[in-house]
Amino acid sequence: MKKKINLLKKLEFTYIKITLFTLFACTFFLDGYTPYKSTGENFFHVFLNGTEVGTVGEAKRAEELLVTARRKIASESEELTFMEAELSLQGEEVLWGKIDEEETLLVNMETILRQNVQETLHRSYTMKVNEYMVNLASVDEVQELLQAAVDKYDSEDKFRVELVQDYNREFCVLTTEILESEEDGTQHADSNYLSGGVQLFLAAMDEDAPEVGEKDFEDYDLGLKTMGFSEEVEIVEAYLPEEQLTPLETAIEEVTKEQETPGEYEVVSGDTLSEISIKVNIPMDKIIDMNSETLENENSTIRVGDKLIITVPEPELSVERMEQNYYEETYDAEIIYVDEDSWYTYQTELLQQPSAGFRKIVANVYYVNDKEVDREILKEEVVMEAVPKIVKRGTKIPPTYIKPISGGRQTSGFGPRKAPTKGASTYHRGVDWAVPTGTAVFASCGGTVAKAGWGSGYGYVVYINHEDGRQTRYAHLSKVLVKSGQTVKQGERIALSGNTGVSTGPHLHFEMLINGSHVNPLKYLQ
């Protein structure tokens, strides 16, 4: 019996040893359990943006799984996606612990990342023309926009826009080429095969051969010949938020619609405000408003070389083109001038009346947008010769005129008016400046005194004849300082202002006559 008890104890002890050994072995060999090591933290709870997504046995593995999850989300689109991804780990040292499957962690991480997407940047294209920039969703939209600018002037659909790389730029920048629609930029195999030997020789002969006879009007291939953009166009790839992208329809309107662009016009010989208005296609009153510092009204004086501010309607992207056109027109011959050195430059005489001619023309006409900028005549046939206008003109520089008084306030201008006092004229033949009695009066221009003394309603007056045939008059004087027949220089003191004759107060009345007729003197004063 004693032996039997000892045997049972021995078996029980052996069973306990085997069980302990088996449990110890499982900690090393069973999948899903972390082996016990006395090396510190060996079991980690993984948190993404504050939410637990699973457990791992190594901290580094959690970071690798996060990279994998982010890469998977990014690969689903060509856009750049920004998301919040704050990874934290809580480690501990355990004897054994179950870690999660990596696939489970990836799914959990993707779910958290998708919930925390902050911003998506779309792959887009930025087009720059001078200072104008527009962002479009695709390269196709850029091409449609540029094609719309071309189509505005290409009613025949002959030209297409191609985007090409600008090899002059260090970075990848696209620019534009405008090609005829049938051009594909490649050579056919047959043309490559025939590009040498006899073919080259025959081609060279064709180039050197002179044209047989002169072209007739029917021989010209008329129509749109070339197109191009006036400004350099740059297109670069970018990643932008959706709110910064411009809808294609809006971009087309912005680029092709004419905008008011500040410009400048230089006055040339023969210009008047009305003619300038027609040239620049801007109403005359608007030109006067834009130049209010130098122009008062439509009668304001303009001189050759003056620069006027104008606003020119132009689109953001200008299109250049050349058309070969046939047209018939009446035309005027150039004016023939016969110079007369003894005459002043404002003196002219018509020697021959002009008559318009008639001609047929084929010409290359160059445009920027709708504005013609140049014309090259290729063939011209005059049906009826024009008769030129012949004008005799003076070459002598006329004398100048200055204001005859210093200061003063203008109280009455030239022309119709209400009589200021009994006996005064209702048509004012000069200009009045209110000044104190005794103010010095100067000769507006050098000349010979024609009259100096009393002049009835004018009171004391001085008349001066000038070498260009004009006469100036100074009235209502208090004292005359010159005599008839006396020669005076421009700016010389000739009298003192006053209030004599029919007058309402101290002032100077100043007149100018040309060929015996009164004119507005203000138009002739410097």
Q: Mind giving me the DSSP string for 125-194?
A: EEEEETTEEEEES-HHHHHHHHHHHHHTT-TT--EEEEEEE-TTSSS--EEEEEEETT--S---HHHHHT
Let me know if 96 is exposed, middle or buried by CB neighbors in 10 A (0-12, 13-18, 19+): middle
* CA-to-CA dists, residue 484 to 276, 399, 480, 498, 517, angstroms: 46, 21, 11, 20, 22
Residue 383 has pLDDT above 90, yes or no: yes
Range of lowest pLDDT (151-165, 181-195, 284-298, 477-491): 181-195
Residue 186 has pLDDT above 50, yes or no: no
Q: Which of 95-104, 111-120, 467-476 holds the top average pLDDT?
A: 467-476
Rounded-to-integer distance, Cα 490 and Cα 506, Å: 24
Residue 29 has pLDDT above 60, yes or no: no
Q: What is the mean pLDDT of residues 252-278?
A: 82
* pLDDT for 118: 60
**Bridge-partner residues for 382, per DSSP?**
359
Which is more confidently placed, 360 or 30? 360
Could you read off the pLDDT of 445-471 as tens digits, one per residue? Answer: 999 999 999 988 899 999 999 999 899
Place of tokens 């001066």: 464
Rounded-to-integer distance, Cα 498 and Cα 172, Å: 82
Rounded-to-integer distance, Cα 199 and Cα 321, Å: 33
* pLDDT for 286: 85
Strand, helix or coil at 345?
coil
* pLDDT for 404: 96
* CA-to-CA dists, residue 248 to 134, 141, 234, 335, angstroms: 10, 6, 17, 53
Q: Which of 8-22, 141-155, 475-489 holds the top average pLDDT?
A: 475-489
* pLDDT for 457: 87
* pLDDT for 4: 54
φ, ψ at 310 (rounded to 5°): -135, 160
For 228-264, give the DSSP string.
EESS-EEEEEEEEEGGGPPPHHHHHHHHHS-EEEEEE
C-alpha dihedral (195, 200, 206, 208), degrees to nearest 10: 140
* pLDDT for 16: 62
* CA-to-CA dists, residue 522 to 257, 300, 400, angstroms: 44, 10, 12
Q: Which two tokens stand for residue 377?
A: 């005549």
* pLDDT for 12: 64
Q: What is the mean pLDDT of residues 45-67?
A: 88
Residue 19 amino acid letter? T
The CB density around residue 72, as the number of other CB atoms within 10 Å, is 13
Residue 198 has pLDDT above 50, yes or no: no
How many residues belong to the chain? 526
Residue 213 has pLDDT above 70, yes or no: no
Rounded-to-integer distance, Cα 49 and Cα 86, Å: 5
Rounded-to-integer distance, Cα 237 and Cα 172, Å: 8
Q: Which residues contact 12 (CB under 8 A, 6 or more apart)?
A: none
Place of tokens 């007058």: 503
333, HSE (Cβ side, Cα atoms, 13 Å): 18
* pLDDT for 388: 95
Confidence grade of residue 297 (pLDDT, cut at 50, 70, 90): confident
Q: What is the mean pLDDT of residues 266-288?
A: 84
Mean pLDDT of the chain: 83
Could you read off the pLDDT of 215-259 as tens digits, one per residue? Answer: 899 999 999 999 999 999 999 988 888 888 999 999 998 888 876
* pLDDT for 386: 95
* pLDDT for 201: 43
Tell me which DSSP letter residue 202 carries. H
* CA-to-CA dists, residue 477 to 238, 402, 412, 519, angstroms: 81, 19, 17, 21
Residue 209 has pLDDT above 80, yes or no: no
Q: Which two tokens stand for residue 206?
A: 């064709």
**Bridge-partner residues for 465, per DSSP?**
448, 471
Residue 399 has pLDDT above 50, yes or no: yes
Confidence grade of residue 475 (pLDDT, cut at 50, 70, 90): very high
Q: Which two tokens stand for residue 441?
A: 């009066």
Rounded-to-integer distance, Cα 51 and Cα 90, Å: 12
Confidence grade of residue 36 (pLDDT, cut at 50, 70, 90): very low
376, HSE (Cβ side, Cα atoms, 13 Å): 7
Which is more confidently placed, 168 or 284? 284
Which is more confidently placed, 357 or 70? 357
Could you read off the pLDDT of 497-509 as tens digits, one per residue? Answer: 999 998 889 999 9
Which is more confidently placed, 284 or 403? 403
Residue 495 amino acid letter? A
Rounded-to-integer distance, Cα 483 and Cα 438, Å: 18
Burial profile 323-348: b = 16 or more Cβ within 10 angstroms, e = fewer: bbbeeeeeeeeeeeeeeeeebbeebe
Could you read off the pLDDT of 143-157 as tens digits, one per residue? Answer: 999 999 999 999 889
Confidence grade of residue 170 (pLDDT, cut at 50, 70, 90): low
Q: What is the mean pLDDT of residues 129-143?
A: 90
Which is more confidently placed, 520 or 29? 520
Q: Which two tokens stand for residue 370?
A: 């709708």
Residue 189 has pLDDT above 60, yes or no: no
Rounded-to-integer distance, Cα 226 and Cα 321, Å: 5
Could you read off the pLDDT of 303-339 as tens digits, one per residue? Answer: 888 888 887 677 889 999 999 999 999 999 999 999 9
Closest CA to 507 of 475, 481, 482: 475
Could you read off the pLDDT of 406-444 as tens digits, one per residue? Answer: 999 998 888 887 766 655 667 788 999 999 999 999 999
Residue 265 has pLDDT above 50, yes or no: yes
pTM of the entire predicted model: 0.50
Q: Are 151 and 252 in contact (CB under 8 A)?
A: no
Closest CA to 227 of 130, 150, 146, 145: 150
Q: Which two tokens stand for residue 169?
A: 């730029």
* pLDDT for 202: 44
Q: What is the mean pLDDT of residues 272-293?
A: 84
